[in-house]
Chain A
Amino acid sequence: DTAVSQTPKYLVTQMGNDKSIKCEQNLGHDTMYWYKQDSKKFLKIMFSYNNKELIINETVPNRFSPKSPDKAHLNLHINSLELGDSAVYFCASSQGQDYGYTFGSGTRLTVV
């Protein structure tokens, strides 16, 4: 199936831990993104990569570090997790302005 897939779907972890979320797309898109969705459904862009190059790096704590080994993968590593990091994280990809995003199904991160 052609899609954006991210793993894990659920992640429960303790404060202070380090965790990673993986994202892969097999759509051939050049641009990939990470978004954070809070409990009120508000979507905030975190990072955007085009062909493995960082394009957008919003005001996100430097505990969050994206890594793009190739244009089909964009992983998110989070150090020293805090309670406020609890949210749903969405990976997405796009082939350009006119085409919109294809989203992954999300990773629900709960920090306890």
Chain B
Amino acid sequence: GDSVTQMEGPVTLSEEAFLTINCTYTATGYPSLFWYVQYPGEGLQLLLKATKADDKGSNKGFEATYRKETTSFHLEKGSVQVSDSAVYFCALSETGNQFYFGTGTSLTVIP
């Protein structure tokens, strides 16, 4: 069945450091891939997405590239800010009836 595996946290970085959060997936067909962000006390917000192989999703300085050959969708940001502290979820969907989420990676950015 479909599944998503993302790196375990928590991750702690200094401001302006480079961020990578790894995400790999298992799917039977051609899924769409997503990154969601959850700030403390809030619901999940869509951060970026990619719907086919080699697509790059980007938003707010974050990027992720849909790599079919490595079944990966790693999240990157060149220079993190304190305001990026949140929990990040990788997710996939093949049908729209269900989205499969990773376990979440908590990021704390310290000044």
A binds B: yes
A residues whose Cβ falls under 8 Å from a Cβ of B: 31, 33, 40-43, 45, 48, 50, 55-56, 90, 92, 94-106
| Bound-complex Cα distance A94 to B98 (A) | 10
Which of B32, B99, B106 is close to A41, meaning CB atoms less than 8 Å apart?
B106
The answer to whether A97 and B43 touch across the interface, beta carbons within 8 angstroms, is no
Distance (whole angstroms) from the CB of A90 to the closest CB of chain B: 6
Cβ of B82 under 8 Å from chain A: no
Cβ of B49 under 8 Å from chain A: yes
Given contacts A48-B97, A94-B96, is CB(A100)–CB(B34) below 8 Å? yes
**How many A-B contacts if CB must be within 8 Å?**
65
Binds A, one of B12-20, B64-72, B73-81, B86-94: B86-94
| Bound-complex Cα distance A97 to B49 (A) | 11
The answer to whether A31 and B97 touch across the interface, beta carbons within 8 angstroms, is yes
The answer to whether A98 and B104 touch across the interface, beta carbons within 8 angstroms, is no
Residue of A nearest to B101 (CB): A43
Which of B34, B49, B97, B104 is close to A42, meaning CB atoms less than 8 Å apart?
B104
The answer to whether A90 and B43 touch across the interface, beta carbons within 8 angstroms, is yes
Which residues of B sit under 8 angstroms from A98, Cβ to Cβ?
32, 49, 51, 96
Residue of A nearest to B92 (CB): A97
